[in-house]
Amino acid sequence: MAINYDEYLLLELFNSEPIIIDREAEIYKYQMQGSQGLELAFSFSVYDQYVTIRLNHDQLQNPLYDIEIQNVGEIRVEKSKLIVLKQQSKEQVIEVEVTPNFMIDLSI
């Protein structure tokens, strides 16, 4: 199994191409700078089916928010939102809104 996602919608949402962590394993990382020193990092492994979301602040050593979600089936982009769905149930696990500010809604 693999994560279903639309690379063009992710490109449009993050306004940049991903950092390729491992081309063969298809592990990608997207980053976005926000207001007031915030940075959102979103990475995923297509075949290992996990997603990592990290929210950093440029003046803090440790992340404000850091979560890894296993058994991901789909990554959706809807307008300014990034939505992660579980593999079998297709239930929404997390929603990340990127504009006007970062907002993370965890549904676990």
Q: Which residues form the domain of 72?
A: 7-106
DSSP 29: E
Q: Flag whether 37 is in a domain.
A: yes
Model pLDDT, residue 89: 85
Number of structural domains (the chain) is: 1
CB atoms under 10 Å from CB of 93, counted, come to 20
Q: Give tens-digit pLDDT for 44-101.
A: 999 999 999 999 999 999 999 999 999 999 999 999 999 999 988 888 999 999 988 8
Q: Flag whether 35 is in a domain.
A: yes
- Write the CB contacts of 100 (distance below 8 Å, at least 6 apart in sequence): none
Contact 17, 11 (CB under 8 A): yes
pLDDT band for position 27 (cuts 50, 70, 90): very high
Is the four-CA dihedral 13, 19, 21, 24 of positive or negative sign?
positive
pTM score, whole prediction: 0.90
Contact 49, 70 (CB under 8 A): yes
